Amino acid sequence: MPAKSAFSVLGLAHKMCLAAEEQGYTPELINTLAEHPTLLRDMLQVQLGLAEITYPEHIINCAADPFVPKGWSIAPESEQISSRVRGSFRWNPAEVQLYFSNHQREDRVIKGDKLRKELEDKPVLDADVLDYLLAHPHLIPEEWKGKFVFFWGTIYRDRHGDPCVRCLCWVGGVWNWAYDWLACVWGGSSPAALRAS
């Protein structure tokens, strides 16, 4: 078999790098493939039909105790939304809905206490989901950037005893959490995360 010219090999490598970049590969990931050829062997096994790729299921325990900031507490059960998601929740962004009240959709604001009542019969996600996503930021949908996604399934009391809810937000190029008080007003960039029905 005649040897391929350097030009055709370089052209193929360039084509491969462009395709890899389209699929989310970074130069660091491509370098990892080059430095660990067993990864390439495993990929070849999949391509030849000798192995399969399985994706991990991200199961979140919504009955666990979520992170509680220093000086805070979780509000009593009587103040929690009774329809919140409990037990095991399998993370799938397609099964999560961002909920906006009509006030928020109409570029108006709504008081947190009133929004809480509006959410009373909805499957709101709790802070266990927020904490899991912060630990696995690659799972957070790109379209959530620019929003403050609130997890109403856990209502806290801050160090002064005021009720509040934590949210997920993109700040300074990283995902982090923030919060707002129920006594404040909530605008169009502050949806509630629900399990889609």
* Residues of the chain predicted below pLDDT 50: 1
**Is 111 within 8 Å of 185 (Cβ atoms)?**
yes
- Alpha carbon distances (Å) from 143 to 17, 47, 98, 126, 134: 26, 32, 11, 20, 16
pLDDT of 91: 95
Q: What's the pLDDT at 182?
A: 97
Q: What is the pLDDT of residue 5?
A: 65
Give the three-class secondary structure for 78.
helix
- At 153 the pLDDT is 97
**Hey, what amino acid is at 184?**
C
Report pLDDT for 85.
96
- The pTM for the full model equals 0.74
pLDDT of residue 26: 85
Question: Could you give the angle at the alpha carbon of 136 between the alpha carbons of 76 and 57, nearest 5°?
Answer: 90
Residue 110 has which token pair? 């709504």
